[in-house]
Structure 1
Amino acid sequence: MAHAPHASRSPLLLAGFLAAAGVAHFAVPASFDAIVPRSLPGHPRTWTRASGAVELALAAGLAVPRTRRLSARATALLFVGVFPANVKMAYDWRTRPARARALAYGRLPLQVPLVLWARAAERSATR
């Protein structure tokens, strides 16, 4: 069965999204440090760097057809796993100006389409 023309690009777009996010974790780590749940052990910067490295690795895995299926599945799990950080951000930003609150609150439902995008990339990968 032939895939729609966008089907093969979608995992690459997701890879680009993850790569940009991964680079951001290293370029501007303080903004990510701030949303690391305090219940996690160790220094927040360690979690920021680790999650950035994972995003870069998943981006690379999505870009390679042979590893795309596994990487897409792991990407979906990553998006679920970072949800507590988004909840923390929404809570911490609850008293900020409306625009900042909207950004923080908007991240919460955004996780659903991101997980679905990763699952679609998994399904589109050759087995």
Structure 2
Amino acid sequence: MNSARSNKDAAALAGLLATTGVLHFVAPKPFDAIVPKSLPGSARQWTYLSGVAELAVAAAVAHPRTRRIGGLAAAALFAGVFPANVKMAWDWRHASPAKRAIAFGRLPLQAPLIAWALRVSR
């Protein structure tokens, strides 16, 4: 992959992570709702912690000197939030068709997100 394409890919990934990270603080309730109950502490604590993680990973991906570790961290983060996506799909299994499509559509989306993060890490 050429350098310009690689930089655009990294910038887009950093932008996605930063946007989602900010949303954890601006509108935390939807994130609280998908925190698995098996985690210790409050859902809000996990929402804020994951928001901080997304912002930190976004910063690492954005900077060329830390991009490799940032891409690897993004891949790990995308894998780590998969249980929340499973919880959302389970919780919304009887919701409207649109909500079910969103919830179940998020599950296979994790694979290309992980692949994207790994590509950025190279």
* Long gaps (5+) in structure 2: none
In the alignment, what sits opposite 1:60? 59
Deviation at 1:26, TM superposition (A): 0.5
Residue 102 (1) aligns with residue 101 (2): yes
TM-score if structure 2 supplies the norm length? 0.97
Identity %: 55
**Secondary structure of the equivalent of 2:94?**
coil
SS in 1 for 2:35: coil
The equivalent of 2:73 in structure 1 is: 74
- Aligned-residue Cα RMSD (Å) equals 1.0
* Distance in structure 2 (CA, Å) of the matches to 1:52 and 1:78: 11
Match status 1:3 vs 2:2 = yes
What does 1:1-127 correspond to in 2, within 5 Å?
Answer: 3=2, 5-123=4-122
Alpha-carbon distance between aligned partners in 2 of 1:7 and 1:53, rounded to the nearest angstrom: 25
Q: Which amino acid aligns with 1:111?
A: Q
Deviations 1:77-102 (A, max 9, x none): 00000000000000000010000000
SS in 1 for 2:85: helix
Matched residues, number: 122
Once residues 29 and 99 of structure 2 are traced to their aligned partners in structure 1, the CA distance between those partners, rounded to angstroms, is 17
SS at match of 2:65: helix
Q: How far apart in 2 are the matches of 1:6 and 1:72?
A: 15
